[in-house]
């Protein structure tokens, strides 16, 4: 395991639903003595009444709630990173979303990663998920729209590490991130 000295890194994992963000986050954090996983969806689900779920028509209230959850994730990530934790924030983010979050992370080691297995692999991984509290088949149309709307070249241009995990295990993906 790596020794924590000073601030920990803030890893930001993005990609469409089903690409393996949570699986990679958990495996990656096992390589640090202290690790915190901040899935933005989990922060959103703390809303007791009035939660608006994401949909293809992007209702304004859902957009507002995502912005609030991302801001909360950014604050929590800074707090824990400054205390020596490695942090992973995972969400469906575009490069502009990270730009808005980075203002909270000045002076910290931020490592954005875009996971982009093929659409077919993503849909298969989504269908195999058992850890969600909802029917993941409901995400099939959203994945079909989101996946092609997130071109890896846009992320590369914005300075993200782009990782096609189509033929990689979780452990192989983490090994590439740590090299």
Residue 2: inside a domain: no
Six-digit token pair at 149? 């709307």
Give the whole-angstrom CA distance, residue 164 versus residue 136.
22
In a domain, 106, yes or no: yes
Element (H, E) at 89: strand 86-90
Q: What is the mean pLDDT of residues 103-127?
A: 93
Is 28 in a helix, a strand, or coil?
A: helix
Q: Which structural domain, as residue segments, surrounds residue 100? A: 10-178
Residue 165 lies in a domain: yes
CATH number of domain containing 76: 3.40.50.300
Q: Is residue 3 part of a domain?
A: no
Q: What does the pLDDT look like over 130-174, one tens digit per residue?
A: 675 556 667 788 889 999 999 999 999 999 999 999 999 999 999
The domain total for the chain is: 1
């Amino acid at each position: 395991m790596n020794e924590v000295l000073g601030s920990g890194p803030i890893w930001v994992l993005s990609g469409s639903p089903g690409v393996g963000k949570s699986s990679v986050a958990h495996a990656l954090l096992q390589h640090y003595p202290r690790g915190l996983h901040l899935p933005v969806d989990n922060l959103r689900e703390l809303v007791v009444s009035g939660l608006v779920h994401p949909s293809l028509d992007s209702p304004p209230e859902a957009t507002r709630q995502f912005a609030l959850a991302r801001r909360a994730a950014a604050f929590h990530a800074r707090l824990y990173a400054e205390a020596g934790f490695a942090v992973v924030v995972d969400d469906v983010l575009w490069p502009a979303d990270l730009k808005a979050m980075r203002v909270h992370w000045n002076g910290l080691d931020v490592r954005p990663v875009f996971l982009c297995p093929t659409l077919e692999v993503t849909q298969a991984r989504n269908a195999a998920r058992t850890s969600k509290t909802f029917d993941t088949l409901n995400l099939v149309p959203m994945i079909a729209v989101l996946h092609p709307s997130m071109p890896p070249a846009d992320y590369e241009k914005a300075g993200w590490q782009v990782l096609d995990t189509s033929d990689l295990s979780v452990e192989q993906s983490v090994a590439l991130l740590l090299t």
